Amino acid sequence: MNGHREIKGTLDGTGLRIGVVVSRFNDLVTSRLLAGALDALERHGLVAERITVVWVPGSFEIAAAARDLAEHGGVDAVVCLGCVVRGETPHFDYVAGEAARGVAAVHGATGVPATLGVLTTETVEQALDRAGGKHGNKGADAAVAALEMASVLQQLRRPRRAERDETG
């Protein structure tokens, strides 16, 4: 069918500003998620000067920093990186749940999209597999998703051509 409006994000990071919030807890894993995210951003046209990296103590704190960065940091999207390992804490469900809920709420509160690169695994080994190991790098995936969402939202906020023509 023709004539419908279709919006697709590009992955072109040229001109965008991106924030990255990364948790120090399990930094063996999260430093690899960060490396993957930075590599992906730079491969998609972001220059280092347009990337802000914020370290926080643990995944529980990610959303608070992400929200402030979204509100005051002048960024087009925020990438959230952390690692919660079930075996390490009886608080797994709280920490992982609050991290995901908090990150999801960033866009509603600020209008800036935030993507979730917080691993939730049974073991550190499973996490390492997803931080540049045999299952890819979820930090890179979250970074690319942030570029796509920044582009989608930019397009949604641009008036449609017909509306622009009507209003001159």
Q: What residue type is 117 in one-letter code?
A: G
Smallest distance from ligand INI to CB 67, Å: 16
Which one of 72, 91, 107, 135 is the catalytic residue? 91
Phi and psi at 23, nearest 5°, equal -90, 140
Whole-angstrom CA distances from 37 to 47, 93, 98 are 13, 25, 22
Which residues contact ligand INI (rule: CB under 6 A)? 23, 25-26, 57-61, 82-85, 88-89, 91, 95
SS3 85: strand
**Which CB, 100 or 149, lies closer to ligand INI?**
100
Helix (H) or strand (E) holding 80: strand 77-85
Q: Which residues pair with 98 in a beta bridge?
A: none
**Which CB, 59 or 151, lies closer to ligand INI?**
59
Smallest distance from ligand INI to CB 60, Å: 3
Smallest distance from ligand INI to CB 101, Å: 13
Q: Is 72 a catalytic residue?
A: no
| Catalytic residue ranges | 91
